[in-house]
């Protein structure tokens, strides 16, 4: 890990301030390529102009409109569920910065289409929590395999054993894991 830190330089991640948009973008990006997700996000943003992505603007979109923007029927349902829950106050995004990680995860995973991984990404990239270890993240697991010279992807147990030494800054270590994969690509 020391070599990755030297190569990557200082930890520079800054939280996304628009929490609702971050969750919308996370849902849109699930199980598709980054390029396809970026295209759908751009179409959604363009469609809503001059308004921004918000619970109100998403709730006004019909499933057919979302489909015309490239959003699958399943993800359309997820976005509408998210908009309704945030709009009603059932999922209070503005209060989550004061909630413990496990409560945030529990609350977010009640929303259709948001699982533990998406909730962890929200903790990391929207709330800026310093000690989140996304053990199911393929990038983090791949980086651990590479950095610790393991034969296979680490199991959840092995990942947690390795990450124990990163506490209380598992988020920072995870960020360096993701960066290490960028370096590996440029070396290949």
Instruction: Please identify, among 85, 100, 125, the residue that sits at the C-terminal boundary of a domain.
Output: 125
Instruction: Give the pLDDT band of residue 1 (cuts 50, 70, 90).
Output: confident
Supply the pTM of this predicted model.
0.88
Let me know whether 156 and 100 are in one domain: no
111 near 78, Cβ under 8 Å? Answer: yes
Looking at residues 8-28, what average pLDDT do you find?
93
Let me know whether 36 and 112 are in one domain: yes
Q: Which residues contact 181 (CB under 8 A, 6 or more apart)?
A: 139, 142, 143, 146
Instruction: Give rounded-to-5 percent helix, strand, coil for the chain.
Output: 65, 0, 35
Let me know whether 148 and 58 are in one domain: no
Instruction: Return the closest-CA partner of residue 23 out of 133, 109, 103, 129.
Output: 109
Instruction: Give the pLDDT band of residue 111 (cuts 50, 70, 90).
Output: very high
Instruction: Give the pLDDT band of residue 132 (cuts 50, 70, 90).
Output: very high
Let me know whether 181 and 153 are in one domain: yes
* Active-site pick, 131, 137, 151, 152: 137
Instruction: Return the closest-CA partner of residue 127 out of 99, 106, 168.
Output: 99
Q: What is the pLDDT of residue 21?
A: 96
Let me know whether 183 and 102 are in one domain: no
CATH number at residue 92: 1.10.340.30
CA 20 to chain centre: 12
Query: What is the percentage of the chain residues whose pLDDT exceeds 70?
Result: 97
Q: Which residues contact 132 (CB under 8 A, 6 or more apart)?
A: 101, 120, 123, 124, 170, 171, 174
Let me know whether 72 and 152 are in one domain: no
Let me know whether 47 and 79 are in one domain: yes
Let me know whether 58 and 119 are in one domain: yes
Let me know whether 118 and 181 are in one domain: no
Q: What is the pLDDT of residue 18?
A: 94
Instruction: Please identify, among 108, 125, 142, the residue that sits at the C-terminal boundary of a domain.
Output: 125
* 39 pLDDT higher than 90: yes
DSSP state of 56: H
96: containing domain: 19-125
Q: What is the pLDDT of residue 33?
A: 83
Instruction: Please identify, among 71, 102, 125, the residue that sits at the C-terminal boundary of a domain.
Output: 125
Q: What mean pLDDT value characterizes the chain?
A: 94
124 near 131, Cβ under 8 Å? Answer: no
* 151 pLDDT higher than 70: yes
Let me know whether 84 and 115 are in one domain: yes
* 26 pLDDT higher than 60: yes
User: What letters, b where the CB count within 10 A reaches 16 and e where it falls short, cover 90-108?
Assistant: ebebeebeeeeeeebbebb
Indicate the number of domains in the chain. 2
84 near 56, Cβ under 8 Å? Answer: no
CATH number at residue 145: 1.10.1670.40
pLDDT digits (tens, 9 = 90+) for 78-100: 999 999 999 999 999 999 999 99
Let me know whether 24 and 106 are in one domain: yes
Let me know whether 47 and 94 are in one domain: yes
Other C-beta atoms closer than 10 Å to the C-beta of 63 total 15
Q: Decide if 151 is catalytic.
A: no
Higher-confidence position of 41 and 188: 41
Query: Alpha helix locations (H) across 9-155?
Result: 19-29, 34-48, 55-59, 63-68, 73-88, 101-108, 116-125, 138-147
Higher-confidence position of 184 and 14: 14
């Amino acid at each position: 890990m020391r070599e990755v830190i030297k190569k990557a330089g200082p930890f520079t991640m800054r939280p996304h301030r628009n929490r609702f948009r971050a969750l919308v973008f996370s849902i849109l990006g699930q199980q598709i390529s980054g390029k396809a997700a970026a295209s759908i996000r751009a179409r959604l943003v363009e469609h809503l102009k001059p308004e921004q992505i918000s619970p109100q603007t998403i709730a006004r979109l019909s499933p057919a409109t979302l489909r015309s923007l490239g959003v699958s029927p399943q993800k359309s349902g997820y976005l509408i569920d998210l908009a309704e829950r945030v709009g009603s106050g059932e999922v209070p995004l503005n209060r989550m910065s004061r909630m413990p990680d496990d409560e945030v995860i529990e609350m977010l995973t009640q929303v259709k289409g948001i699982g533990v991984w998406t909730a962890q990404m929200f903790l990391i990239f929207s709330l800026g929590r310093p000690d989140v270890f996304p053990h199911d993240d393929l990038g983090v697991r791949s980086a651990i395999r590479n950095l610790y010279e393991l034969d296979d992807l680490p199991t959840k147990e092995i990942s947690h054993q390795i990450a124990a030494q990163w506490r209380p800054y598992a988020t920072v270590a995870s960020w360096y894991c993701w960066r290490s994969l960028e370096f590996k690509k440029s070396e290949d």
